Structure 1
Amino acid sequence: MKGFMALNRGASTTTHIDAKTREFIALAVAVTTRCQGCIDAHARKAKAAGATKEEVAEALGVAIALNAGAALTYSLHVLDAMDGTGQG
């Protein structure tokens, strides 16, 4: 637990991106990893950082598009495997 807390503190004290952008990234990752606790925590933090619902929705649209792209890519791997031409 101490290691996780140290990692979390380090990630929240970066100086190259602002807190709101960091929360957009955290929310997108939370959605793609299906972490309800993360979603709850980072939605609160995003709101506190001044994020609007519209901004969060746009950030989540990126996560949705990326998940769709990954699903497409891995679906092609499945079809290749069915043909016996898979990578593994």
Structure 2
Amino acid sequence: MTADTRIHDWDGYNAGLRDRGRELTALHPEFMKGFGALNRGAATTRHLDAKTREMIALAVAVTTRCEGCIDAHARKAKAAGATKEEIAEALGVAIALNAGAALTYSLHVLDAVDGAGQSG
């Protein structure tokens, strides 16, 4: 990763997201109410603790390449007591799944190559 694509000031980044979030709330309040309800519902679990939820969220944030999610859930994972080592293991799962997805889609490419020009 090059220095110009990395976020160096996560607190500033977070503040900027919050500002833009307030702007979107003013522009489309019903959507933001619904989004908030979705997040509250996902955070209300009976079988997963907060740390486990945040570790899952971090892995998903990596696979969806969402810096805002990385920021929010890294903060929440730390607050829930996740260690750097635990987070690293969760990230290892995300990396493996991304590699697995690339492998699966590579097999689709082989199918496409074999099937190209076959019809009609």
Q: CA RMSD in A?
A: 0.9
Task: Give matches, 1:1-88, under 5 Å.
Answer: 1-84=32-115
Instruction: After the TM superposition, list the runs of 4 or more consecutive aligned residues in structure 1 that deviate by more than 2 angstroms.
Output: none
Post-superposition CA distance 1:29-53 (Å, at most 9, x none): 0000000000000000000000000
Instruction: Specify every segment of 5 or more residues in structure 2 that has no aligned partner in the other structure, as ranges.
Output: 1-31
Which ranges in structure 1 are unaligned for 5 or more consecutive residues?
none
Separation of aligned partners in 1, 2:105 and 2:42: 30
* TM-score in terms of structure 1 length: 0.93
Structure with bigger gyration radius? 2
% identical aligned pairs? 89
Instruction: Count how many residue pairs are aligned between Structure 1 and Structure 2.
Output: 85
Deviation for aligned residue 1:15? 1.6
Return the structure number with greater relative CO, CA threshold 8 A, min gap 6: 1
